[in-house]
Amino acid sequence: MAHETPGIRNFFAENQHLPDVPAAAVIAETGLDMTGMQMTLPKTVEELTLYTLEREDVILNRKRRLPRRTIALNKSRRCCGSCRRRGDPSGQLHATLDGRGA
């Protein structure tokens, strides 16, 4: 991708328009170069599409890892039989006494 997200974010915050796209005030003063704009728009659409696909991959990877992390977390919360008999199946009291809990 030609422009990285933090760079675009900073550019937009400072200039109030996307890189390679003229500001509205500039267009109002000097007019719009239609040929230049027709060449810029497909490039911008391609960059946005690639960025969207990258973000979708990140989301899918996180969704795939989430069940494994949930299982691991649930296993780590299990405690000894005496905790379950005391009505504390999560072992919160035991973990607190051991210094493992909050």
For residue 71, the model assigns a pLDDT of 73
Q: What is the pTM of this model?
A: 0.53
Q: Where are the alpha helices (DSSP H) in the chain?
A: 5-15, 24-30, 34-77, 81-85, 92-98
For residue 31, the model assigns a pLDDT of 93
Return the structure tokens found at 24: 């509205």
Q: How many residues does the chain have?
A: 102
For residue 86, the model assigns a pLDDT of 67
Count of alpha carbons within 13 angstroms of residue 17, beta-carbon side: 9
- Could you report the per-residue pLDDT of 20-40, keeping only the tens digit for each? 889 999 999 999 999 999 999
- Could you report the per-residue pLDDT of 46-82, keeping only the tens digit for each? 988 999 999 999 999 998 888 777 777 666 666 566 6
For residue 65, the model assigns a pLDDT of 84
